[in-house]
Amino acid sequence: MFVAVAAIRQVPLAVPPALVMPAYVVLGAGMGSAVRPDLLLDFGHPAVSATAILLAILATTAAGYVVLRLCGWGAETAFFSAVPGALVQSVALAEAVPGVNVPVVAMVQTLRLIVLVTVVPLIIGSVGAPVPVPVAEVPFDLPLFLLLATCAIGQFLAHRLRLPAALLIGPFFASLLLHGSGLNAAHVPQPLLIPAYVVIGAHIGTRFGRTSPDVLLRLILPALASTGSGIVVALGVAWGAAAVLSVPPMLAFLAFAPGGIDAMSILALALHLDAGFVVLLQVARFLLLTVLLPFCAPRMQGGAEE
* Segment 111-169, tens digit of pLDDT: 777 777 777 777 666 555 444 444 455 667 899 999 999 999 999 999 898 776 678 77
Length of the chain: 306
What residues does each domain of the chain span? 14-294
User: Among 23, 52, 3, 61, which Cα is nearest to 197's?
Assistant: 23
If pLDDT is split at 50, 70 and 90, which confidence band does 301 have?
Answer: very low
Query: What pTM did the predictor assign?
Result: 0.64
> What is the pLDDT, as a whole number, of residue 148?
95
Q: Which residues contact 293 (CB under 8 A, 6 or more apart)?
A: 83, 86, 89, 90, 93, 164
**Residue 131: its pLDDT value, please?**
44
CA distance 78 to 100: 9
CB neighbours of residue 87 within 10 Å: 21
What is the DSSP code (8-state) at residue 136? P
User: Computed over its alpha carbons, how large is the radius of gyration of the chain?
Assistant: 19
pLDDT in tens, 64-79: 999 999 988 888 888 8
- Statement: residue 11 has pLDDT above 60: no
* Residues sharing a CB contact under 8 Å with residue 81, sequence separation 6 or more, in sequence order: 64, 68, 73, 90, 104, 105, 108, 109, 223, 226
* Res 153: pLDDT: 97
pLDDT of 19 > 80? The answer is yes
Q: Could you tell me what percent of the chain has a pLDDT over 70?
A: 71
Higher pLDDT, 71 or 33: 71
Question: Which is nearest to 281 in space by CA: 37, 56, 81, 28?
Answer: 56
Among candidate residues 206, 192, 200, 193, the one with its CA nearest the CA of residue 2: 206
**Highest-pLDDT range among 25-29, 271-275, 286-290:** 25-29
71, 74, 81, 103, 288 from 305: Cα distances, Å: 11, 7, 12, 10, 28
